[in-house]
Amino acid sequence: MQEIQIGLLGAGVVGGGTLQALAQKGDRIAAALGCRLRVKRVLVRDPEKTREVPVDPALLTTCPEDILDDPAVQIVVELIGGEEPARSYIARALEQGKHVVTANKEVIAKHGFALLALAQKRRVNLFYEASVGGGIPIIAVLRRDLVANEISQIQAIINGTTNFILTEMEQGRDYAEALRHAQRLGYAEPDPRNDVEGIDAAYKLAILATLAFRTNVRPEDIPRTGITGLHAKDFRYAREMGYVIKLLATARRLDGEIEAAVHPALLPLDHHLASVKGVFNAVLIDGDQIDKLMLYGRGAGARPTSSAVLADICAVAQSILRGTPEPIDLRTDGARLRDFGEVESRFYLRMQVADQPGVLAQIARVLGDARISIASVIQKETDESARSAEIVLMTHLAKERRMAEALEQIRTLPVVRQVSSFIRVAK
């Protein structure tokens, strides 16, 4: 039986899970593919380190050239993470005519278009299923299965850490307590900035939008707002009004332009994504042939991510056996990202205001001057000792720019003590 040799860059959680799965399922994979996959080398920082998944010491190396320059290695699997040196290793492997599988969302989001062009030039494959959604096969779906569809919209919950925190806040915990709980369980890093500020979700949305709309969407061009400003009482009020709050990654094609953003959003309780809880992820796709398609599963962890890595390795092995790489569609339709200020949405506002007549009239006047109409207003709580009240206001559709200008004016009103929350409402 033909043998295909693999070089693995990194033996951490995902790398160890991949090695374990290859060892446990090697015979099954060989029977399915008609070839055997063998790991020839594993790049690590410290060969003496005790690992959860034992690795044959003879496979370990601290020298990337042992993999990148070895002509016997046909598939390089990059699992070290971060932008550099991962990007350089991937580029060098492709230049050497090696196929590459990676789980690196940052590299693919920032440099994927250029690396795919290099792979096409060298007639090799670059696969990255594990970069978005863990075990959810979303990349293959967009790259191959939905090729006949005109995708109009993607809405996604694609960060398991923030979804876990928001699920905890739905149950009454405040943000700090929910974050500590996520960290105790290992769902959140000691420094959770990439997750809670929406950076991770923006990387993943850039990858999905680039594939779906054949436009090079860069993560730095995606407006994002994290979850650190959310309060437990907003979840209670949202539920009373028939909504849940999720960190939503959205990209849609509208009038020849692409709208893309990551931010907390109120979703109606009957929305497809409203019931996605805990560390689970989901991607909802609108296409002209499929209508709606939702993919759901665990978004992180050794086993789901290793499953996606293995799927890509097997796909590359089949390509090697065929003797031809999978075609890469690098044509772009020229659509540009819409100025976020022109994007329309409905808005939820929670404010602390003076408990006196005429307050609502002043707020309504500011919104009216910005051509924003109020859909509803509810007074939630009153503090008689402080002579203040809390009101929750929902608007009709309005442009982001007009809402931002109105908020600046509202904050300067003497009767407004504080704008406590400002959340968009999903379309």
pLDDT in tens, 211-253: 999 889 999 999 999 999 999 999 999 999 999 999 999 999 9
CATH, residue 382: 3.30.70.260
Helices (H), 241-376: 302-322, 359-369
The pLDDT value recorded for residue 60 is: 97
Amino acid identity, position 30: A
- Assess contact for 6 and 35: CB atoms under 8 A: no
CATH, residue 154: 3.30.360.10
Tell me, yes or no, whether 97 and 175 share the same domain.
no
| Alpha carbons 222 and 204: distance in angstroms, whole number | 11
Global pTM reads: 0.95
pLDDT tens digits for range 384-407? 777 899 999 999 999 999 999 999
- Assess contact for 189 and 199: CB atoms under 8 A: no
Q: Is residue 388 included in any domain, yes or no?
A: yes
Nearest to 354 by CA among 260, 417, 264: 417
On the question of pLDDT at 277 being above 80, the answer is: yes
Into how many domains does the chain fold? 3
Nearest to 12 by CA among 56, 48, 58, 45: 45
Tell me, yes or no, whether 69 and 148 share the same domain.
no
Tell me, yes or no, whether 123 and 155 share the same domain.
no
| Alpha carbons 38 and 48: distance in angstroms, whole number | 22
Catalytic residue among 105, 204, 233, 399: 204
Assigned token pair, 217: 């969407």
Range of the domain at 399: 340-425
Instruction: Tell me if residue 25 is catalytic.
Output: no
| Alpha carbons 255 and 225: distance in angstroms, whole number | 25
CATH, residue 107: 3.40.50.720
Tell me, yes or no, whether 288 and 308 share the same domain.
no
- Residue 345 pairs in a beta bridge with 398
Tell me, yes or no, whether 253 and 271 share the same domain.
yes
- Mean predicted confidence (pLDDT) in 33-49: 95
Task: Please work out, in degrees rounded to the nearest 5, the angle formed at the alpha carbon of residue 263 by the alpha carbons of 257 and 265.
Answer: 100
- Assess contact for 229 and 421: CB atoms under 8 A: yes
- Mean predicted confidence (pLDDT) in 114-118: 95
| Alpha carbons 304 and 134: distance in angstroms, whole number | 5
Tell me, yes or no, whether 117 and 234 share the same domain.
no
